[in-house]
Amino acid sequence: MKQGILRLLFFLFLALLLAGGFAAYDAYRFLSTPASDQPQDIIISIAPGATFDRVAWDLKKAGAITDVDRFRILAYAQDALGRVKAGEFQINTGWTPEQVLRQITEGQAILYRLSVREGLTWWETARAVEAQGFARYEDFKAVIHDPDFLREHNIPFANAEGFLFPETYLLKKPRNPLDRQQAYDVASTMVRMFWKKSEPLWQALPKKAAPIAAQEPPAGAMSSPAPTVNATAAASTNATAPAASASGPRTPAEVDPEALRRLVTLASLVEKETGVPAERGLVAGVYANRLRLGMLLQCDPTIIYGIGENFSGAIRRSQIDDPKNRYNTYQHPGLPPGPIASPGLDSLRAAAAPDQHDFLYFVATGVDDGHTFSKTLNEHNKAVQVYRSRIRNN
C-alpha cells in the first residue's frame, strides 16, 4: 500500500515536472520567436483609452504577435497591462513579443509635421491646420473663440489671434480630424508655445493691477462712466520694456492685459509689414515714434484684417476712408483693437524694444523685399515716387 502511494506520488511529480518543462519551453518559444519569418514594418494605431485586449487583437490581426493570451500573460508579468500608449506606432513583424510590448508601452509614437508660418491670421492658420489633416476649420475657429478656452490659456481677448505661435510642430496624427477635441489639442499646443517662447518678453511686462473693491454709491448719486484708455498715449515709446517687478517671476495670468495687447498687437503689425529680419526693429521704431507723437499709424495690413476673410485684390480708396472698420489705422488713432496676425519671436522682440531713431515713414523699395525709411513727409513722398517709377518700369 505504502509502495503504491509512493509510486503514485512519483508519477504525479514526474507529470508536473514534464508539464512545467513543457510550459517553460512553450513560454520560451513564444518569447523568443518572431511572429513572421519575413519581417516587415507595419503601423499600429492605438486609440486613447483602448483596452489592452483590444490592442492585442489588433496586433495579432496585423501579424505582429501570434497569441493574444500569451501576450497578455507577458504584459501582466511585466506590470504593463495599463501602460499602453495612444498614437500610431511602427512595429516590425520580425520583433519578439517583448520588443512589441516595449514599443507600445515605452516607445515614441509616430509624429507628423504641422507647419504654421509667421504672420498668418487666425483664419489662415485654421485653413493650414485643416489642409494638413489635424482638425476641421470650423472646429478650430470655434475653439479659439471659446471663452472657456481663452480663460484657460490666459488670453484676455475675444479670440486667440496673435497667440497661435508660428512654428513647425511634431504632433500625433488624429484618428478623427472631425473630433473638436483635436482642434482643441492643436490650438492649446500653439498657445502654450507662445507663452513658452515669449516668456522673457511677457515676464518684463507690468503686472496686472489688483482689482479695486466696488463701493456702494450714495443714495441718489449717479455713477461715473469708466475712464477710457488712450491707446496713443498708453502705447510703447522708444524705451525698452520695463523690468519685471522685484516680486519675482509671474504667471501669464498675472500680466497686465493692456500691456500684453500692446506688445502682441505691435508685433503683429511689424510681422505683416516686413519680412526682412534687419528691418523689424526699424518698423517697430517707426510705429513707436508715430504713437508717441499722436500720428495715425496708417498701416495697410490693419485695413485688410478689418475687412476680414473676404478681402481680395488691392485696397480701394473707399476702404481707406471707411471709419466703420475698427482696424482702419488711417481713420482711428493708436493701435488697432487687437493683433492682426500671429507674430514670430523676432517681431515680438522688436515690439518689446523698438529701434531708437527719427524715422516716421517707410515705403517699399520696389527692387527687393526691403523698405526706404524717411524722417520727413517730403523725403517719404520722394521715396514713394521712386517706388512707383520702379513698379511701372518693371
* pLDDT values of the chain reduced to their tens digit, one per residue, 394 residues: 556 555 555 455 555 555 445 445 555 576 778 888 888 999 999 988 899 999 999 999 999 999 999 899 999 989 999 999 988 999 999 999 999 999 999 999 999 999 999 999 999 999 999 999 999 999 999 999 999 999 999 998 999 999 999 999 999 887 776 778 999 999 999 999 999 999 999 999 999 876 655 444 443 333 333 333 333 333 443 444 444 444 567 799 999 999 999 999 999 999 999 989 999 999 999 999 999 999 999 999 999 999 999 888 889 999 999 999 999 999 999 999 999 999 999 999 999 999 999 999 999 998 888 999 999 999 999 999 999 988 887 7
CB neighbours of 341 closer than 8 A, spacing ≥ 6? 118, 119, 120, 121, 161, 162, 268, 271, 272, 301, 305
Beta-carbon neighbour count of residue 15 at 10 Å? 10
CB atoms within 10 A of CB 361: 21
Burial label, 287 (beta-carbon count in 10 A; 0-12, 13-18, 19+): buried
> How far is it, in rounded angstroms, from Cα 247 to Cα 250?
8
* Other beta carbons within 10 Å of 151: 11
Say which residues have a Cβ less than 8 Å from residue 160's Cβ, sequence separation at least 6.
122, 144, 145, 149, 150, 153, 187, 191
Place of cell 488711417: 330
Considering the entire predicted model, what is its pTM?
A: 0.78
Angle at 376 between CA 320 and CA 280, to 5 degrees: 70
- 8 Å CB contact between 380 and 363: yes
Tell me how far apart the terminal alpha carbons of the chain are, to the nearest angstrom.
116
Q: Domains in the chain, ordered, with CATH?
A: 31-106 (3.30.1490.480), 111-197 (no CATH), 265-357 (no CATH)
